Structure 1
Amino acid sequence: MKSPFTQLLKQKGILVSDGAMATELEKLGVDTANDLWSATALLTAPGKITQVHRSYFAAGAMIATTNTYQANFAAFKKRGLNPEQFQQLIKQAVDCARQAQSSAKVPNETLVAGSVGPYGAYLADGSEYTGDYRLTKAEYQAFHYLRIKALLAAQVDVLAFETQPNFTEVQALVDLLATKFPHITAWVAFSIKDPQHLCDGTPLAQAATWLNDQPRIKAVGVNCTDLLQITPALQTLKKSSIKPLIVYPNNGDQYDPITKKWQSKHLSPKFSSLAPQWEKNGARIIGGCCRTTPGEIAAIAQAVANS
């Protein structure tokens, strides 16, 4: 089965992904300071999710990432949802992206990626930036199964295993794809503590090398880290990975898991100045993560167009 993701990447050469969802939802009045984070809007304001997706397509994004990073079944079960209701909620998230997709300049040159956050995101204590948690392979797979099943039932184009700090969890996810969902492809974007290591201490080169042998994984990279870590991380990755490289950092602000607020840094460099450098160092898919805006995605799209 051909992958829409790899087909579009081959056609375009480089893809621009979208930016932060929660940041834009907060601007629209959605309270994300809870354990559901941006997924709160699936219950309270789905129309605003569509609005955010539209803003990124208007900025030049070619990939809309579904608002499902924090939308795992365990979190919604606490809110009283059963598996069928949860599946409908995930379908709604995909529908929001699809509705916005029709507004893109060239809709058939865009994709919807189904976001799958790590178990650490469910803990809602910043664990996606430490990887300091341990489950068995079977426990990781049971945790992720319903969300992946629902995303595929809603027909996303590719899965995004993102902000992944824990190599054992990634291995469990890849094995879950191979055994239960062999006809879908995914990318893996790691959460790193420095340009050479995942947050759990696993060497980034080791993780990338292992993924070389996983045929369902179509791109490898890093996300939700300081944008100044991206170039050295790419330099690490391109020595060990044979996959297309994907990067989507945050804007340099720092997250406080206690207050669930971001501490602003005002002296960070611009995405527009760094995107050409990332492309030069092998990045084939470039976007933004937490605290990035449609304006920054537009700057990336312009920089890519001019390269």
Structure 2
Amino acid sequence: MSRLLNTLKHNVLVADGAIGTILYSEGLDTCPEAYNLTHPEKVEQIHRSYIQAGADIIQTNTYGANFEKLKAFGLEHKVKAIHEAAVSIAQRAAGEDTFILGTVGGFRGVKQGDLSLSAIQYHTEIQVDTLIQGGVDGLLFETYYDLEELLTVIRTTRQKYDVPIIAQLTASNTNYLIDGTVINEALEQVIQAGANVVGLNCHHGPHHMKNTFSHIELPEHAYLSCYPNASLLDIENDTFKYSNNASYFGKVAEQLIHEGVRLIGGCCGTTPEHIQHIKSSVKNLKPVSHKKVIPIHKKHASTEHHDLKLSLKERVQRQPTIIVELDTPKHLDTQRFFKNIEALDKANVDAVTLADNSLATVRISNVAAASLIKQNYSIEPLVHITCRDRNLIGLQSHLLGLSLLGINEILAITGDPSKVGHLPGATNVYDVNSKGLTELALRFNEGINTDGDALKKRTNFNIAGGFDPHVRNIDAAVRKLETKIESGMHYFITQPVFTKEKIIEIYQATQHLNVPIFIGVMPITSYNNALFLHNEVPGIKMTDDILDRFKAVANDKEATYDLSIAICKSLIDTIHEYFNGLYLITPFERVDYSLELAAYSKSITSTKQEAIL
């Protein structure tokens, strides 16, 4: 057994606090880890201040020193150099009596990036190898929101090294991780993966940490650790700050030891003063070997479903189904819009889809329109949700509001970037993409929010996704579609198609997928409209024959309308040979096109059904 673990077997150890907090308070304008190379004496001074305050353990200044985080500061090529310097600085400060932990921070946060698990594993191995070669006494994996990520890096490390591993998860809820896993159960998985000390750090102050640890059992083959934040984060004069509560911090630290914690330190906002109070409070305490665990009363979400109507997915699986897209107005004169909604409702169209500021152009809120449709008409609103305009807070609030209004059909889309619209200077958010939004909605359907806490009721979202078949290699588009299916999307709506050949191609490429697909049809309103689509919309090409036919009637509105309807009817004939789902895109508020095509679709599908019967 290592000297560190042997010491923990019989003693409570006090770790250090934050490094970045001190550096930022003194005007740091880069990442804290850069100071290992540019201001090593400053980092060493901070280490010494924590040791003087009573810390038995210090950690290397390497929390954010991975390739991805350093890239934001142009330092990605100095990963090894920063780690090597960090270990040397810590060793100079520590001497023989203080343990040194090599710190590695998690990549994934509440907002998950696009970095794959294999890439995370690769970059983490570089950090771990450099720290071990430098001679640290153990490794500290801290601030891991994602359990899968932490388990992966621990298993990989344990296969290579027999060193003490301290592994700390971060939870935004006191009892659950963001994926809904009970913290106690998650810590047991971390132990099974190979960690010697397990616990929590960051996000919560001492009060909430104490509440959490009251539910955590004493592990049989590991020890518990806890590094709370100084407090909840506050803001004063546009500056983020933590409470000046070092004395209180020390008092709660004593309670944490009674809950089984053997290694206690500080995270964000903590200073040598906090560590001094911790040391004073716990220096005469011995680790507990027994404790009373308060069980968690799991809050199960209600399984009641308020809307007994068939979802669009269920409808299209049973029978031909029509949805019509109708954009909300750009102004407050909604008379024509709702008159069109009424006409679609009377025509027994199954659903009306409402875009979410499509092409980054401001329109009336589709949720407001959907709410009025839900109150006054029988037609089902299918609400688009774009990730462009809302952060993770706004998206969740948006979903909860939709559920409260009884709006369950949603289309999850990443969204056109702001630069394509009328306000190119507007900010793009993109905290998540359409797949991430889908995962949020599915979690809500389980009755769990992103904190891992219960919503007390389940949402009933049926999630549609977009499918663009207008690519050079449709197999690549289908592979992208398959990843959307894996994320949990229930059915799909395509971009408009303009040839029978494309419809058949879509069928052949997707027939192995067990998901409904609505094929898009958009009437052409004029020869100029045809030219625009052909020449300026990526992926859409008209045949020379179609262009010539529209050119021949360019000056005759009635003939243009008849030609457009005839072409669309021909496409609908082919669609219903292969698919049950028809998606009509209303051009320029011309709902007369959609009404005639919907009537035609119903006439041919009902005729086929009667023939079968």
- Normalised to the residue count of structure 1, the TM-score between the two structures is 0.83
Write the mapping of 1:1-307 to structure 2, written as runs, cut at 5 A: 2-11=1-10, 13-32=11-30, 36=31, 38-77=32-71, 85-102=78-95, 107-108=96-97, 110-120=98-108, 127=109, 130=110, 132-133=112-113, 135-179=115-159, 181-215=160-194, 217-224=195-202, 225-238=204-217, 242-254=221-233, 262-265=240-243, 270-307=248-285
- 1:131 to 1:172, Cα distance in 2 relative to 1, 3 A: farther
Q: Give the whole-Å Cα distance in 2 for the aligned partners of 1:267 and 1:28.
A: 20
Say whether the 8 Å CA contact 2:34–2:82 is kept in structure 1.
no
- Paired positions, count: 282
Structure 2 Cα separation of the partners of residues 62 and 269 of structure 1: 19
Query: CA–CA distance in 1 between the matches of 2:245 and 2:61?
Result: 29
- Superposition deviation, residue 209 in structure 1: 1.8
> Residues 178 and 59 from structure 1, CA distance in 2 versus in 1: closer, same or farther, beyond 3 angstroms?
same
C-alpha displacement at 1:72, in angstroms? Answer: 0.7
For 1:73 and 1:220, locate their aligned partners in 2 and report how far apart those are by CA, in whole Å. Answer: 25
Contact 1:131 1:199 in 2 (8 A): no
CA distance in structure 1 between the partners assigned to 2:26 and 2:48 by the alignment: 14
> Following the alignment from structure 1 to structure 2, what is the Cα–Cα distance between the partners of residues 59 and 162?
22
The one-letter amino acid paired with 1:46 is P
1:68 alignment partner, SS class = coil
Going from structure 1 to structure 2, the CA distance change for 1:243 and 1:73 (only over 3 Å counts) comes to same
1:50 alignment partner, SS class: helix
- Whole-angstrom distance in 1 between the partners of 2:81 and 2:242: 36
Segment of structure 1 superposing worse, 74-83 or 285-294:
74-83
Contact 2:233 2:241 in 1 (8 A): yes
Letter in 2 for 1:63: I
Structure 1's 41 and 201: CA in aligned 2 closer, same or farther, altered over 3 A? farther
Residue identity in the other structure for 2:282: V
Give the whole-Å Cα distance in 1 for the aligned partners of 2:27 and 2:219: 43
- Counterpart secondary structure, 1:221: strand
Secondary structure of the residue aligned to 2:267 is coil
Higher relative contact order (CA 8 A, sep 6+): 1
Letter in 1 for 2:67: F
| Cα deviation digits, residues 213-257 of structure 1 (max 9, x gap) | 234x1111111122111112212222667421100101113178x
Partner of 2:464: none
Q: TM-score, normalised by structure 2?
A: 0.43
RMSD over aligned CA atoms reads 2.5
Quote the sequence identity (%).
Answer: 30
Deviation at 1:77, TM superposition (A): 5.0
Q: 1:44 to 1:169 in 2, by over 3 A?
A: same
Q: Residue 228 of structure 1 aligns to a residue in which SS?
A: helix
Q: Which shows bigger deviation, 22-31 or 205-214?
A: 22-31
Instruction: Look up the equivalent residue of 2:83 and give its one-letter code.
Output: I
Q: CA deviation at 1:198?
A: 1.9
Q: Any gaps of 5 or more consecutive residues in structure 2? A: 286-613
The 1:296/1:267 distance shift into structure 2, 3 A limit, reads closer
Letter in structure 2 aligned against 1:75: K
Residue pair 1:227, 1:249 contacting (<8 A) in 2 also: yes
Secondary structure, aligned partner of 2:214:
helix
Matches of 1:266 and 1:183, distance apart in 2: 40
Query: 2-side partners of 1:198 and 1:92: how far apart?
Result: 34
Shift of 1:57: 0.2
What is the SS of the residue equivalent to 2:131?
Answer: helix
Question: How far apart are residue 136 of structure 1 and its match?
Answer: 4.0
Cα distance, 1:266 vs. partner?
Answer: 5.9
d(CA) in 2 for partners of 1:239, 1:101: 30
- 1:189 is paired with a residue whose SS is strand
Gaps of 5+ in 1: 121-126
Measured in 2, the distance between the counterparts of 1:164 and 1:299 equals 27
Distance in 2, Cα, partners of 1:203 & 1:21: 30
Q: Is the 8 A contact 2:250 2:274 kept in 1?
A: yes
1:13-34 Cα shifts (integer Å, max 9, x gaps)? 11000001012223444335xx
Deviations 1:178-220 (A, max 9, x none): 33x23222111111112211234332122112123234x1111
Give SS of 2:283's match.
helix
Q: Out of 188-197 and 56-65, give the one that drifted further.
A: 188-197
What letter corresponds to residue 134 of structure 2 in structure 1?
A
Determine if contact 1:54/1:100 at 8 Å carries over to the other structure: yes
1:92-126 CA distance string (max 9 Å, x none): 01111111113xxxx42x21001110103xxxxxx
Identify if the C-alpha distance between structure 1 residues 164 and 131 changes in structure 2 by more than 3 Å, giving closer, same or farther.
farther
CA deviations 1:36-76 (Å, max 9, x no partner) are: 3x213224312110000000000000111111001112333
Preserved CA contact (<8 Å) 2:242 2:269: no
